[in-house]
Structure 1
Amino acid sequence: MASVVAILDLKGKSLIQRRYRDDVPDGAIWRFVPILLELEDEGKMETPCFTKDGVNFMFIRHSNLYLLALSPKNVNCAEVLLYLHRLVQVFVDYFGHLEEESIRDNFVIIYELLDEMMDFGLPQVTETKMLQGYITQESHKLESMQLARPATDVTNAVSWRAQGIKYRKNECFLDVVESVNLLANADGTIVRSEVLGAVKVKCYLTGMPELRLGLNDKIMFDASGRTARGKAIEMEDVKFHQCVRLAKFESERTISFIPPDGDFELMSYRISTPVNPLVWAEAFVEQRSGRVEFLVKVKAQFKKRSVANNVEIHVPVPDDADSPKFRAGAGKVQYLPAQSSFVWRIKQLAGGADHMMRAHFGLPSVRTEEDIAAKRAPISCRFEIPYFTISGMQVRYLKVMEKSGYQALPWVRYITQNGDDYTLRTVTDNGGAPLASI
């Protein structure tokens, strides 16, 4: 239970606040930033929760704002912090950006959202799609019937899906998207690697359907004593959308849920099994007086039946390099002086294929090879491989059940792509040999 929810600037000035209970002193909000400064002076780490003079302070920081919740009771801090994060997401969905200016320009709608998302200090509706049904940007045009709708939505056990949804064609699209984060040395040694996966759903179904999703989950096969036909995977750090029945997943390892309407992320997971680079790139560098040359090789190290789309190889160059000249066996090359690199773009890279390109730059300043080697950054890669998952994740079945008995069309798609950190430490000197001999 939160007695007060407030949004403050970095100086501690309250931009907007909503008081749900009268058990917190009026001056508690103004003391928030001074208390943070006191904790910092004492050398204590800043934590999202602390207690002072019988008042519990729970906050998160977003951009140049503090979102603060106060309560004198022993509340569930994790629940309150989760509510504050959901509050940020709803504001971003409504206003595009959550900044001090957007708070000042939309305070009327913010008060309406605060009233609907929390009642007497208890979180209520936190789904943007539900809130947009009766709180619009032009809030002064709301009618009394629209204002009466939250009562049924809040009391409904399925608060993330409205009643009476109808579609002429009932379809459900499911995307299994896996992102690979990887760091490799020049000799091919994998320093670290991980696979981050997400199951994203686009739901266009009539009524209140129940969906059941089965994956090649290793724990499920082990618990049931069955043998997987193909590869079974072991997922870690699994996180579900609130629509999933967690009790059923824990007992039967079955993902059963009533989906929200439209787009949403059903679940995310992590797989820590070591993986090999799907796209391998290396660059050989030859420096001579007044110029530097690169020979870049790229190879697709996945099955031949797959194709990587929109491949990008970012290769770093010296900061003062100029007069670029490129020659590529495939794709196009572009110099990015603001990023001190050039990017080699290949629209499609078939599995097992390899290509080469050459780059020539002028170096107006004089520097040693040791200086260039010391500042040499790794290569980064971007790619997307459809109809393929590196972990072997597979959807065994996707069943759609609704009381009217209509037939729905489920569609499943697999995508593997680079993560936020896919880097290769493969920029190496050529040892004095001319690049033409490689």
Structure 2
Amino acid sequence: MIESLFILTPGGDVLLEKHWRVALSRTVVDVLLEEVRKHKVIEDVPPVIATGKHYLFSVFHRGLFYLAVTSGEVPPAHVIDFIHQLLRVLGTYLGQFTESHLAENFVTVYQLLEEMLDFGYPMLTEPNILTTLIRPPTVASRVVSFVTGKGSVGDTIGAGATSMIPWRKSDVTYTQNEITFDVIEEIDCIVGRNGQVVATDAFGKVRCNCKLSGTPDALLLFRETNFAADPAFHRCVRYSRWQKDKVLSFIPPDGQFQLMRYRVNTRSIEQPVYCRPQVSYADGHGRLTVAVGAKPIRVFAASTKVKPGAAGGAGGAAAALYGGDDGGSEDGTRKRRRFGSDEARKEGARERNRLNAHRSRMRKKLKAQNIESRLERLRMAVAFIPLALRQRVGVLLWPTVRAELGLPEVVDPRFAVPTVGPAYWPAP
């Protein structure tokens, strides 16, 4: 599938090259460099270039070109997806994509390419499996390799290579099990001259950090199922379950990974900031002023006194803020004005009420469980007190603790001691 792979700079300096079938000449790189010279912006270079003999697939990332060369027609998405997967693996191993960093760890890069591709066909592409075969480079590993002469390739096949789930190692153990999710959303808006939003696009992604032992099966539920449009999932997600129930059922990989990315439905987007542009012209020149700030959605303004003044003074500004007239009355009192729609305010109030009710129920439940646990421990302690000792001090002790233990008001006529069931107080 892939015959050769080059990592080069925009100037044409080849940092690394790997050939799987026939060693191609570096002149094939000149075709890409010609396209780079034609475009002023490097990002505008076409990702797929067809020549008379070869097809070139390139990805520009962090100032470097990653170029894959094939001699026959292949699905472009397959090759480009492999290059992106290679970048994710290199990010896991190296962390940086600079020229000096790649040059220092070129042995590790060659070992990864040798394991990831077999005769040009992708084989092992998951970092969880590769880390069991090739140890990530560290200062300690370099010292050990220099002293002992051993490389970073493991002597035995790790547990990840034999796992039935290719994206997760088989024997993962943690002393403390936890999994965290980060939802990151970005909003792109086009604002008109009057401050109104003309067009809005929002994109989001869910990143996960899994530290669970064994082979967990996770289920992620969403409060609103129609928030995501055109979702793209990690290979661990069961897509049929998403189509049926709109839930994410998956066996997570170990460590950090991106669970899904999506486009937010524009109908449910509320811009968190405001933007008010103003353009003015005078004496042959113009001036552009843009006011940008946080948008108070559910903020309440307290009553404020405004001194009488001109519309352009401080009084006019405060009056415009709180919704009064420009000049203001004699006392200058301004009533409260709620920012944001009534629907948003009501929804926020309902959400707060639900949250407070849930917290109250949980506090009561925990308090009842705590009291019951203490009483149970006290009952068990009473049960192990010797019978003779109970008979001697029972007159003083049991009336004191009877209320907390919930003992019945039954008195033994011989010792004047409350009597409970045989499970705790055996009959003398």
Which residue of the partner structure matches residue 290 of structure 2?
Answer: 378
Q: CA deviation at 1:2?
A: 0.6
Matches within 5 A, 1:21-32: 21-22=21-22, 25-32=24-31
Letter in 2 for 1:16: L
CA distances 1:237-268 after superposition (whole Å, capped 9, x unpaired)? 20111211234434554422110123322112
Question: 1:219 aligns to what?
Answer: none
Residue 190 of structure 1 contacts residue 276 of structure 1 at CA under 8 Å; is this kept in 2? no
Aligned to 2:370: none
Contact 2:207 2:258 in 1 (8 A): yes
The corresponding residue for 1:160 is 167
Aligned to 1:105: 104
Q: Percent identity?
A: 25
Structure 1 residues 377-421: Cα deviation after superposition (integer angstroms, max 9, x where no partner): 534457999xxxxxxxxxxxxxxxxxxxxxxxxxxxxxxxxxxxx
Equivalent residues in 2 for 1:17-416 (5 A)? 17-22=17-22, 25-33=24-32, 36=35, 46-133=45-132, 134-137=135-138, 147-148=154-155, 153-154=160-161, 156-185=163-192, 187=194, 189-216=196-223, 232-250=225-243, 253-274=246-267, 277=270, 279-281=272-274, 370=282, 374-381=286-293
2:8 matched to 1:3? Answer: no
- Which of 313, 335, 345 is residue 434 of structure 1 equivalent to? 313
Cα offset, 1:172, TM superposition = 2.6
Give the whole-Å Cα distance in 2 for the aligned partners of 1:15 and 1:173.
38
In the superposition, relative to structure 1, how do residues 240 and 37 fare at CA in structure 2: closer, same or farther (>3 Å)? closer
In structure 1, C-alpha distance between the alignment counterparts of 2:82 and 2:5, rounded to whole Å = 10
Q: 1:5 deviation in Å? A: 1.0
Question: Over alpha carbons, which structure has the higher Rg?
Answer: 2
Report how far residue 185 of structure 1 moved: 4.5
Quickly say closer, same or farther: Cα 1:273–1:279, change in 2 above 3 A. Answer: closer
User: Cα 1:207–1:371, aligned 2, differ >3 Å: closer, same or farther?
Assistant: farther
Give the aligned length: 293
**Distance (whole Å) between structure 2 residues aligned to residue 281 and residue 371 of structure 1:** 30
Alpha-carbon RMSD across the aligned residues, in angstroms, is 3.9
Deviations 1:142-168 (A, max 9, x none): 968962555763454422221211123
Q: Which runs of 5+ in 2 are unaligned?
A: 139-144, 298-309, 318-428
Distance (Å, rounded) in 2 between the aligned partners of 1:141 and 1:193: 59
Greater mean deviation of Cα atoms: 161-170 or 32-41: 32-41
User: What CA distance in whole angstroms lies between the structure 1 residues aligned with 2:238 and 2:163?
Assistant: 16
Give yes or no for contact 2:194–2:276 (8 Å, CA) kept in 1. no
Please report how far the alpha carbon of residue 68 of structure 1 lies from its aligned counterpart in structure 2 after TM superposition: 0.9
Alpha-carbon distance in structure 2 between the residues aligned to 1:384 and 1:120: 59
**1:80 counterpart SS class:** helix
Counterpart in 2 of 1:298? none
- Cα 1:165–1:377 change in 2 (3 A) is farther
Higher normalized contact order (CA 8 Å, seq sep 6+, divided by chain length): 1
| 8 Å Cα contact 2:276/2:290 also seen in 1 | no
Shift of residue 373 of structure 1? Answer: 9.4
TM-score (normalised: structure 1): 0.56
Would you tell me which structure has more helix in proportion to its own residues? 2
Q: Structure 1 residues 156 and 371 mapped into 2: Cα distance closer, same or farther (>3 Å)?
A: farther
- Structure 1, 272-281 or 186-195: larger mean CA deviation: 272-281
User: Given that residues 163 and 170 in structure 2 are in contact (C-alpha distance below 8 angstroms), is that contact kept between their aligned partners in structure 1?
Assistant: no
Higher strand proportion, which one?
1
Q: TM-score, normalised by structure 2?
A: 0.57
Q: Could you tell me whether the CA contact under 8 Å between 1:64 and 1:100 is conserved in 2? A: no
One-letter amino acid of the counterpart of residue 437, structure 1: G
For 2:262 and 2:205, locate their aligned partners in 1 and report how far apart those are by CA, in whole Å. Answer: 6
For residues 288 and 152 of structure 2, the distance between their equivalents in structure 1, rounded to whole angstroms, comes to: 64
Give the distance between the partners of 1:130 and 1:372, measured in 2 at CA. 66
How far did 1:105 drift?
A: 2.2
